[in-house]
Amino acid sequence: MFDLTGRVVLITGATGGIGGAIAHKMKHAGATVVVSGRNAEKMNSEFDDGFIKIVADLASDGAAEKLVADTIAAAGKLDILVNNAGITRDTLLMRMTDAQFDDVINTNLRSCFKMCRAAIMPMMKNRFGRIINMASIIGVIGGPGQANYAASKGGMIAMTKSIAAEVASRNITANAIAPGFIKTPMTDVLSDELKKSYLAQIPAGRFGEPDDIANACVFLASDESSYINGQTLNINGAMGRF
């Protein structure tokens, strides 16, 4: 149903978990897929030669602009941007260091801002674009020991709404996805006690799968979603029901 043939998609934080699922779903839908991450060895092990692979550390100055330029040089254009790069540095606020706060804000929010800023101009020239920012349920409801992560993801949601208002007239959409608890390496490190606590809050009775998020990404990247703009799609098994 959702045909992305002829589209070029760039996915940051593409290795492992949600990023990998998005990349494979986008390719299956017909898109030319550019995957980016910091670990070249990991990218080469997870993606075959059917993907364009670009190593980039988005925490570095100028990395976002270079990544967009390299994508256009390799694939000819940029139609769809999925900002999926993210980290956690969880600890209680009274113990959180400035570095732990800054690391998460820089990787999760600041890099998203830079990527969006770099991608908008070529999208405006083409009069087409899809920006999909990967937020989190924690950016909506907060979470103990995650003040830095919540701030970064909540900021991403608000920024996405502002971007949408700026670029909607140019046939560009900007939407966020706020996953609940998805089975990924990031959630695997949670203690069994914490997992049990979170599971009790999910009416669906299970954690989500990376494909649950990837399927939504393909939809938001497609022509069928052209009038959905500035929204946050909450995918969480009814956790929170907001």
Closest CA to 130 of 101, 104, 160, 96: 160
pLDDT for the residue numbered 184: 87
Q: What is the mean pLDDT of residues 80-88?
A: 96
pLDDT in tens, 5-34: 999 999 999 997 999 999 999 999 999 999
The kind and range of the H/E element at 8 are strand 8-11
Structure tokens at 165: 């208002």
Q: Going by DSSP bridges, is the β-strand pair 52-55/129-134 parallel, antiparallel, or unpaired?
A: unpaired
pLDDT for the residue numbered 193: 87
In the chain, % of residues over pLDDT 90: 90
Helix (H, G, I), strand (E, B) or coil at 142: coil
- Domain ranges across the chain: 8-176+205-235
pLDDT for the residue numbered 187: 78
pLDDT for the residue numbered 242: 61
The answer regarding whether domain 8-176+205-235 maps to CATH 3.30.70.20 reads no
pLDDT for the residue numbered 125: 97
Which is more confidently placed, 189 or 125? 125
Angle at which helix 63-75 crosses helix 111-126, to 10 degrees, equals 40
CA distance 65 to 71: 10
First to last CA, the chain: 28
Question: Does the structure show a pLDDT above 70 at 43?
Answer: yes
Question: Does the structure show a pLDDT above 90 at 59?
Answer: no
- Taking residue 172's Cβ as centre, other Cβ atoms within 10 Å add up to 23
The residues annotated with a catalytic role in the active site are: 149
Structure tokens at 190: 């949670």
CA distance 100 to 172: 34
CA distance 126 to 70: 17
pLDDT in tens, 126-185: 999 999 999 999 999 999 999 999 999 999 999 999 999 999 999 999 999 999 999 988
pLDDT for the residue numbered 14: 96
Report the chain's mean pLDDT, rounded to a whole number. 95
CA distance 171 to 124: 8
Structure tokens at 87: 């980290």
pLDDT for the residue numbered 20: 96
